[in-house]
């Protein structure tokens, strides 16, 4: 499927256009990126497609895709490419999900081995249709990867497992991983607008309960800026994450994927990102990765210190 067809398919699943009456803000110079070598990008893209795999890099229209693919890395998205939620900031398609691909854990392990990754990030769409939220499939993927590469470091970027926390935590408890990531995404006041179907306190609880259960694993969360939050609300959200024993935080700039998504309310300067990073470290985070193009899995291997 070419990019134009894929884009049309995504938009077809968004029946209501968001009324952005204010003209979009002009992107500042610090958001411009250079296109790296196309050869390596094509190589990684072909490998991923040959294994019938999906990456969040492509599905979520990440601006860092060219750089990451050119570095020979990617963030894999399991459990299909259709989400059961419809968050108004996200470019991942939503709708009725396909059945679980039972061959995905092995295909994923094969691809990661062939890419010679020493650190891999695995995420998924929300699967509210599954009784365990897809957590057992996460476990199966981790087990297959570890069979092939015992010493690989793994980070799981998980959904909130709404209404299924107990069974999800039981499955995640058995995962041989080094980092558990769940993005809080934004401040609580904007949840109804940006994350309908999700709950701020539920997400904090997931992170806290997992950390209590697995203190040996680093916990991580991410926030995007530019949805209408204030600096004071960001500082409070950072406090909330630390009070729930989150170890690592990432903060990046929200970029609207299309006119069908929430508009960008502001572009935060690199200097402001530095201030958020300083504050996060002051209140006890082990690491705070903050910048306009930062995403929770961007250079993820550099976020940790094993």
pLDDT over 90 at 65, yes or no: no
DSSP letter for each residue of 191-209: HHHH-TT--HHHHHHHHHH
Torsion of CA 8, 10, 11, 12, to 10 degrees: 80
User: Considering the chain, what is the average pLDDT of its residues?
Assistant: 88
pLDDT at 32: 75
Q: CB–CB of 229/193 below 8 Å?
A: no
Confidence of residue 7 (pLDDT cuts 50, 70, 90): very low
Q: Which residues contact 49 (CB under 8 A, 6 or more apart)?
A: none
**Cβ distance 249 to 238 under 8 Å?**
yes
pLDDT confidence of residue 15: 40
178 contacts 172 by C-beta, under 8 angstroms: no
Residue carrying the six token digits 């769940």: 182
Confidence bin at 235 (pLDDT 50/70/90): very high
Q: How far is CA 280 from the centre of its chain?
A: 20
Per DSSP, 288 falls in state E
What is the CB-side half-sphere exposure of residue 143 using CA atoms within 13 A? 10
Delimit the domains of the chain by residue range: 35-302
Cα–Cα distance measured from residue 219 to residue 208, given in angstroms and rounded to the nearest whole number: 9
Instruction: Name residues whose C-beta falls within 8 Å of residue 6's C-beta, 6 or more positions apart in sequence.
Output: none
Instruction: Provide the pLDDT confidence category of residue 4 given band limits of 50, 70 and 90.
Output: very low
The predicted model scores a pTM of: 0.88
The string of pLDDT tens digits covering residues 272-298 is 999 999 999 999 999 999 999 998 888
Domain 35-302: CATH class, spelled out = alpha beta
What is the C-alpha separation between 80 and 124, in angstroms, rounded?
8
Return d(Cα 40, Cα 222) in angstroms, integer.
28
In the chain, pLDDT over 90 holds for what percent of residues? 61
**How many other C-beta atoms are found inside a 10 Å radius of the C-beta of residue 49?**
12
Count of CB atoms within 10 A of residue 71's CB? Answer: 14
Residues 6+ away with beta carbon under 8 Å from 294: 250, 251, 252, 253, 273
Decide: 218 and 178 in contact? Cβ < 8 Å: yes
> Using CA atoms, how far apart are residues 57 and 186, in angstroms rounded to an integer?
20
**Considering only CA atoms, which of 192, 199, 187 is closest in space to residue 225?**
187
The bridge status of strand 119-124 relative to strand 153-157 is: parallel
Mean pLDDT of 187-194: 92
C-alpha span between 120 and 98 (Å, rounded): 24
Tell me the per-residue pLDDT of 66-106, one tens digit each, with 9 for 90 and over: 778 877 788 899 999 888 888 777 777 888 899 999 999 99
Cα three-residue angle 162-167-173, rounded to 5 degrees = 110
CA angle 57, 59, 65 (to 5 degrees): 25
Confidence of residue 22 (pLDDT cuts 50, 70, 90): low
Give me the mean pLDDT over the 134-158 stretch. 97
Tokens of 268: 């935060």
Whether 199 has a pLDDT exceeding 50, the answer reads yes
Which residue do the tokens 């408890």 mark? Answer: 173
């Amino acid at each position: 499927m070419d990019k134009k067809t894929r884009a049309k398919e995504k938009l077809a699943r968004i029946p209501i256009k968001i009324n952005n009456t204010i003209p979009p803000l002009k992107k500042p110079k610090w958001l411009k990126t250079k296109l790296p070598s196309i050869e390596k990008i094509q190589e990684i893209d072909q490998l991923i497609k040959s294994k019938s795999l999906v990456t969040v890099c492509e599905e979520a229209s990440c601006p860092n895709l060219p750089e990451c693919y050119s570095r020979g890395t990617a963030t894999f998205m399991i459990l299909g490419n259709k989400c059961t939620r419809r968050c108004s900031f996200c470019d991942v398609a939503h709708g009725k999900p396909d059945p679980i691909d039972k061959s995905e854990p092995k295909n994923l392990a094969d691809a990661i081995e062939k890419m010679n990754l020493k650190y891999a990030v695995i995420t998924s769409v929300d699967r509210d249709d599954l009784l365990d939220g897809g957590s057992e499939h996460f476990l199966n993927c981790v087990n297959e990867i570890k069979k092939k590469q015992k010493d690989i470091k793994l980070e799981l970027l998980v959904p909130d497992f709404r209404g299924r926390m107990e069974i999800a935590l039981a499955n995640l408890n058995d995962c041989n991983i080094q980092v558990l990531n769940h993005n809080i995404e934004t401040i609580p006041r904007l949840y109804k607008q940006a994350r309908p179907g999700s709950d701020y306190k539920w997400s904090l609880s997931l992170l806290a309960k997992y950390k209590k259960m697995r203190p040996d694993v680093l916990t991580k969360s991410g926030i995007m800026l530019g949805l209408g939050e204030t600096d004071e609300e960001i500082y409070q959200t950072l406090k909330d994450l630390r009070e729930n024993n989150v170890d690592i935080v990432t903060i990046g700039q929200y970029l609207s994927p299309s006119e069908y998504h929430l508009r960008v309310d502001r572009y935060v300067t690199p200097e402001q990102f530095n201030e958020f990073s300083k504050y996060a470290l002051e209140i006890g985070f082990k690491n705070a990765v903050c910048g306009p193009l930062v995403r929770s899995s961007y250079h993820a291997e550099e976020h940790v210190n094993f």
